[in-house]
Structure 1
Amino acid sequence: MDTALDTSAKTFIEVTEVWVPDGDRLKLAEGNYGGLEEFAAASRRESFAKGEGLPGKAWAEERPVVLKGFDGSYFKRTEAAKEAGLTSAVAVPVFAGADLKAVLVVLCGDDDERTGAIEVWHEQDGLLMLDDGYYGAAKHFEWVSQHTHFPRGQGLPGAVWSSETPILMRDLGSGYRFIRADSAARAGLTTGLGLPIPVPGGTTFVLTLLSAKGTPIARRFEIWDARAARNGSVNEARLIDGICAREGALWDPDNAGNERVVKAWQGAIGRVLGTGVPLVEGGKPGLANGYDSMVALPIHLDGELSHVVAWYL
């Protein structure tokens, strides 16, 4: 079987960064910039106080923040972003209780071909409403999303809200569980990942990443459960769902003997288990075979690490 991956297609996300607290500022821990070296250099020189820039705003407001245009905004790296062709960004704070562990920032470009969705949903009056989102060229899907709300348990955002767990949804354009299936099919969206974003104060936020084949957010998704598999003081996580463009399903609920388990500090997922901080890697050995980059995002519920969600390109 040919295991090579087509990495020539444009990706929906171009840059991913992890900013971590260092005293009273956020500093860059790691980032994957592809070939955007000048923007990478500008980022390495930067730091953010609470409330300053996009990472600082997510820290201060204790919520995910979508920024769909940099000109005239609070974004501090506007000129470098413009030269790199970056036009929008989403910042996702990672809290363990009241403790900020990191801010994950993803940056995207914009053209007539790039299609996908990064959405932030929040609870208001017993329903999940769209807080904001970036959709690239999927303008009709964006309009539909702006006019859609979800009760608890309904659709991908509502299912995440109800279960308080990450959920991976396949075949968005034909799946009866995906409420916006018709418009997703028109946009070419195929795979959806939804995850809870716990924040201090208890406001409900759900992040959804919707990927299209032509300009994918990821070619491989994994969900690891860190709650059930614990052995004394050694933290472990087991794979509970996953899908890969090359391998197909990564998890078989009918084959318990094929369970995949990692321990803290074992590989990339284990590093996230050990630190509780997001991980971004690109162009390094040790990733899943054939992949150039990965992001692993921890989810802390009630102050304890409960899941790790990973996506690969």
Structure 2
Amino acid sequence: MRGVLARRLAVSVAAGAGGWLAFRLIRAWPLPERWSVSLELLARWLGPLRPLELDARELELARQVVAAAALAGAVAIVWLEARAFRHASRSALLADRLRGTEASLEAVSDAFRDLVERAHDVHWRHDLSGRLEWMNERGLRLLGYAASDLASLSIADVLDVDAAASLRDAAEVAASAERAVPRREVLARTRDGRPLWLEVHERLVRRGGVPVAIEGVGFDVTARRLAATEAQLEGELSRRLAETTGLDGSLRAVLQALCRALHMEYGELWSVDEQFDLIRLDASWSAAGDAAGAEARPRSFARGVGLPGRVWGQGETLVAPDLAADPDPWCARLAASAPYRRAVGIPIRLAQRVIGVLLLASARAGATHWAPLPVLEALGRQIGALTDRRRAEEALKVSEARKQAVLETALDCVITADHEGRILEWNPAAEQAFGVAREVALGRPLAELIVPPDLRERHLTGFRACLESGRVPLGGARIEIEAQRADGSRFPAELSIARIDVGRHPVFTAHVRDVTERKALDRLKDELVSTVSHELRTPLASIRGFVELLLMRDYPPEERREFLEIVEQEIHRLGKLIDDFLDLQRLEARGAVKYDFQPLDLRELLEHALALLGAASERHTLSAQLPSEPLRVRADRDRLAQAVLNLLSNAVKYSPDGGEVRLSAGREGGRAVVRVSDQGIGMTPETLGKLFTKFYRAEGHAARGIGGTGLGLALVREIATAHGGDVSARSELGRGSEFTLALPLAEEPPGEEKPA
């Protein structure tokens, strides 16, 4: 109604204005006659204008003006009404369209809300204090809550507290800077403790420019995050195992890496001892840096006892959600020893066999900071494989060290060669036997180093035949060969070969033993048998002959006495031979003979030995050159006298044509030196090198017929060594020999001056 009145008022005003304008124009421009009727009507309608004093002509003119104005007003009214009708039609159309748009928007809003409710992502809205105002159905289901729980939940209940605070701060900063909040990954807190990683984007909501709430959306990236975590853990475990030396250090490094990656505060590794059917604690790690009371808890369990024993017995992952309330005493001790509230035990597997248990503990109740059980069990299998590999590496190192120790201490030469005959191993015994250093021998052909040139072709032929046939060379038996040293000298050796089939090509390990000494011992044994049989047979034959004579006939007393004296001499000869054997045996067995070392004057002992030997030899001239001052040594008188007598009797024995045997003594370089020289048959350089070997006797035409066991000089060497001295010899064939016995001087008695 108001609109209509306003329009009519506007028309009236416009008509008046139009009339006044027409009046002013008509005075200057006469109107046509046909307008007179209209003007007349208008004049009648405007009766109140009559009081004006106008003449007839002016009155007529006024009437005409008024009529024109009325006509103009009518036209204006018609035009305005037409525009009003057109605007009204448009308004109605717009109203219809607006009602349709509102209905469409409401439908779209309902569809969008339904879409958000059913979306696979988590959508939420919370006020600035953190209280949740709304969360979609999918989010509630993922987190394990119902719509009725929203009134009591805050964002810190469903997201990590630190993550929620950082998201709120980031949203505020981004809103103030008018830029988007960067996406980030946070860990959600599900009601049942399952891990749920979300990639979150939030925005700050404003009303009238004032922040009122925060809206967020989270995309479930748990599978991707856990796969990355598993790969990261596997890489970290491998790296820690590679960086640490020793199995114990490796286990602690594994625990540390696992606990830090899974946000756990404590970890233990247990290994199964199959021999005693127990599970034992191998290593523990605590974020606090101490043992977390591990020493106060049991370090081994039977199957089915304690959380580690139960995991071992059942072969599956077990979770203790509340350690303090757990009926297992071990769990209660773990909760009492440190502020741990929850624990999980994961079997460590190798194939299908449980070889250990990984235990992780957290101080957070209902903590979600460990991976799902399948991931933890996969980690258990990885740890099993890694620790088994590390144990195998440790065992290999021990085996290698043991093998190296065997190789280095072996008395036999141990030589390994590949299928081409090139040396792969060369132990210290081989270095010493062949005179070739290991670094020089490795990689060189075996035949060039140890096989004499004239035997190499035969060696190579046999080696090729062995490769073609695949048989063990020599059948594992020992054979005797001739080997060659680096200087070209040859020596007898015993050889056995083992074939080792590894990889594509076999390798061969040879054990070579230098049998030079054994050969010499065999020869000495033969000589011993010959010598002993001869030396024993001769006196026994004499004794037997004279005893038979005495039994067969009656001889005068003088002859019987002579026969008995010969028998007595042969008996003494036998006794000395046996004594020499026993003495040498005892002297070679260090400690079997007890020496009575006493200070003595060596001159007296030498004079007494000369007197004994002088009475037994008539064809030799014995001379002595002894110092005038005492020559004091610490010695066993009987043993030293035996050595000197052996030297003197040896000089007499190997001077069959007589001659001078000279004995001299003196001081040289702080030692007492005794020399015995003769003018006998002498010796060759080869004989000198073997002279002090037991059972060795000089060879050659001149030495034939000279008796002896080959023990006298060996006894001298043993006695000299026991006194801290030595014995040596020099000789020239046909010109005699000289033996030198050197002994340490004893300290001078108090009050006695040393000779100048």
Q: TM-score, normalised by structure 2?
A: 0.18
Which is helix-richer, 1 or 2? 2
- Whose relative contact order is higher, 1 or 2, with alpha carbons under 8 Å and at least 6 apart? 1
Instruction: Identify the structure with the greater strand proportion.
Output: 1
TM-score by length of 1: 0.39
Largest Rg, 1 or 2 = 2
